[in-house]
Chains A and B, each alone.
Chain A
Amino acid sequence: MIEFPNELEILITREFEAPIQLVFDVFTQEEHVRNTFAPFGEEMKVCSIDLRVGGDYHFVMVTDDGTEMSFRGTYLEVEPPTRSVQTWLFEGWPDAEAVETMDLHETDGVTTLAWKLAFKDQAGRDHMTKYDGLEANFDNVERYLRSLLVA
């Protein structure tokens, strides 16, 4: 489910049939992010994560027409397996700066994700709402988790 609680935020809630530690790892470990980040199967050119407060992450994907999309940020809170907060910057839109918050909790083997992107200004958020890869990323995670759990 996707919501726009105010003009600065995007909130996505998802449930995954997977244990919380695995869901946390899929969002925070390079080996997993490499397999799930690109919404339309774009090539992941860079995928580096330094998962600690003050550590940086950087993801670059290349679309099929050769455009590079670069996302980077710094971890502000790292509390495995329930929460991480990090700055979020998409380098294609200079104004689109945000703080990304991931909260997880598990009930009866189902892990609920509350993912929030809070932009500095409305222009940044409006950029992002025109971009249609937003939920595809979480669909990828859902599919990927299923493949891990079946294997």
Chain B
Amino acid sequence: MTIDMEGLPVDHTPVTLRSFQREVCLAVSRSVSPWILLLFLCLIASGPSLANDYVDTLIGRAEARELWNDPYWRTLVHYEKGLFGTRSLVDDPDFFASPRGKTDPRAELEATLRLLFQDPAPTDEGATGSAGDSLKVKSPICRFVARFEWLTEALDIDESRVPETRCEPFEDLYTAVGADAVSLIFPTSHMNSPASMYGHTLLTIGAASETSLLSHAINYSAVTNETFGPLYIAKGLLGLYPGYFSMLPYYAKLQEYSDVNDRDIWEYPLELGREEIRRLFLHLYELENINSNYYFFSQNCSYHLLYLLEAARPGLELTDRFGWWVIPLDTIREVQSAGLVGEPIYRPSKSTKVSFLAGLSSRTERHLARDIAKGGVSPSEEPMLTDDGLPKDTRIRVLDLAGEYLQYIYAKGEVEQDAYVPRFLGTLRARSALGASGEWRYSIPPPTAPERGHRSARIEAGTVFVRRGPGGHGPLDAFPIVAIRPAYHDLLDNGAGFKRGSQIVFAETGIRYDPRREKLRVEFFDAIDIVSLAPRDLYFHHTSWRIETGLVRRTDRSGGDPLVFHFGTGFGWAFEMPLLGLPYLMFDTESQFGGGLDPNYSLGAGGSAGVLGDFTSWWKFHLRGRAMLYRIGDEDDRLELEAGQSLITSTNTSLTVEVRRLRERDRSHTETWVSARIHY
């Protein structure tokens, strides 16, 4: 399974005398003549009874101290205490020295010790999994290089009695990578991809130098060829994909995130010493080609990275703090509160650079730069780009903008390579004739760092006032309401640290109390509610969209309001308007199912228009109107007008008022929600 892209020699195992003898023994003992003598020699050579005695001594020491209960041993083998006792989260049999290792820390410790004192020749033991090929050439010391270093110290092992104490391939790699600085990397969400909104983390490791481009990215990810969306998600939730660690040059990751996926990146330098980084790397080496089942929400990329940090600094407890739900950003907060994180560094993506430069330019300059990138204007022939045209500084900016944008559209596949090459070179040539610009010109002011935004979970408490009756002038009812959601961000929440115009809500439940009947009832359940408002402009032609599913209250024919299951989608456009925010238009569809409907389903289509006002940090509003016509199944027309506003009182608190006017089944009512919201 390993792709040896550089044609590296894989077999670094030194041939020791003993292993050589064994090979000779096996070859010769099949032949006839002096086999008795040879067999005898073999017995002497490969019968290390003294070593066995020493292992027994060490195992005795480990038993006396119950070393298998040591937290560091639990970190190294990824043991977790669960409902069914202790289990390792690693699912690869090759990771264990003992066949019972996954569930038995003690057996694993003993087997590891015995293995380390075994003949260091390539062994087939345990190499039964798919990655077996590479393991056959890993000697025991290389398989368990981190365990060995720890055990040596913990049990005071006499290294002269161990067959092999040094894993050369590891040492080579360690030297090559120059491991003396580690950073935690957080690529922020990608505008139009719901999976990326959840976030991702990786590590970089490299030499402490003035540039981080040469460090290596350590990434844990699921491996799959599944492309069918629903199945992809379902399998991911059930842990049906194997997850592996990998290492790539960091610049390759930057190309992926920054140049192709439009994701800004935050780099958090970790305050780890050289010894700690070495331990991290030792453990990473043990995890090469070792798989653990990958669960999207719990045992995911960010969770498994925490093991590397725990391995780096014994005594650190990071993985214990998470349960069913591991949000990458929360892992950064944990690492931060463990005192490991320095000041973050912001790395804007290509599209952020384009937007920034465009924001500094006049309308004419923006059009000129776009025309150069699109090929309509040749920089060498354009009069505005000569000394008699625009001022030099402006020309520099226009050409830089054109160059960045051209790279952007090339990465998006909007321009063919044949056209791109001469256009790109022409632009750069014109640019280079103008001389240096000084980088200060383009230092993009960093936005609020993501971990300084509001926390992931939210609780809301307040009152809903409902007025029903003809024309909405009937009696006013008031119901206390509480809503809880584990993740993540909605359009009215404090936007600092989050992608503008994005909303991602998971599993929010609202419960309403009816004081007259003295009853609680579920008011709504938003399983998933995602909105992505991506403004279109001269440079970017984003499609905005939304998708939501869950349980909602709908008015039925008899005037009741039963819960129905619904699934809605919307596609459209958003724009950026000064002093207004983000206005948008969408085409919507909705399917509803439930016993309250007659028949028990209804399908409809319609449209919505709205505006999100978010131009201050302390006040936000969202106005929306939507008309839906249900024409299949239970027929009805539904009209919603909604005005919400939120007063942001601190990073994690806000006060919200939302007024909603609804017309369905030819009846109207007005709901007013007044609530306080706290992120925690």
A, B in one complex: no
Residues of B that sit less than 8 Å from A by CB:
none
Residues of A that sit less than 8 Å from B by CB:
none
